[in-house]
Amino acid sequence: MKKALLSLLISILSFSAFAGDAPAVGTAAPSFNLQDQNGDWHNLEDYRGQWLAVYFYPRDDTPGCTTEACNFRDNIYAFKAIGAAVVGISVDDVESHKEFSDKYKLSFTILADSDHVTANAYGVLRDYKLIKIASRQSFLIDPEGKIAKHYDNVDPDKHTDQVLADIKAFMAGSANSG
């Protein structure tokens, strides 16, 4: 019931302003040091030398967030095959991430940004006064740690395929502009 109410609240309040601006394409990706669903620490430097898809999402176990996470899960071997990694981030805590990850058998890292620092640094934090959430946006980070692409209008049903195609295009030297 609590998650359903929260999902409804998120939908109703989706017009709220962002806490800050997203980093520009071509600039260094903001650093992070966050715990995953198992309590292990991850930072941006862990992914240096490979393509990294960082997707922010509002809440664990809500409809759009579940769709997006399961699509990344179902395509994770395609990402690994080209040497790319996927990381999901929300402001939920480690325990919530663990439950979400176990329930949907997520085979990739989801990070807990419960202090909101990373979501704020990426310009995706939305403050609704009563709650703070990360908006559904993603960043493609190149092997040198720079923002290669920012997705600010994410469709949970199609996003995974779009990110995978864009990584392949960047690797081939001709990135999509969509």
Is residue 20, in this structure, part of any structural domain at all?
yes
**85, 111, 117, 142, 158 from 132: Cα distances, Å:** 27, 16, 11, 28, 26
CATH number of the domain residue 125 falls in: 3.40.30.10
- Percentage, residues of the chain above pLDDT 70: 86
Q: Is the pLDDT of residue 11 over 90?
A: no
Average pLDDT over residues 111-124: 95
User: Does the active-site annotation cover 70?
Assistant: no
**Is 102 a domain residue?**
yes
Do the domain assignments include residue 177? no
Tell me, yes or no, whether 87 lies in a domain.
yes
Mean pLDDT on 140-160: 95
Average of per-residue pLDDT values in the chain: 88
The total of structural domains in the chain comes to: 1
Catalytic residue among 53, 65, 121, 167: 65
| Residue 2: predicted pLDDT | 55
Q: Is residue 130 part of a domain?
A: yes
Residue 117's contacts (CB-CB under 8 Å, 6 or more residues apart) are 32
Name the residue range of residue 48's domain. 2-172
Task: Note whether residue 178 is domain-resident.
Answer: no
Q: What is the pLDDT of residue 21?
A: 87
Asked if 86 and 78 touch (Cβ cutoff 8 Å), the reply is no
To 10 degrees, what angle do helices 63-74 and 94-104 make?
A: 60
Is pLDDT above 50 for 30? Answer: yes
Specify the pLDDT at position 175: 53
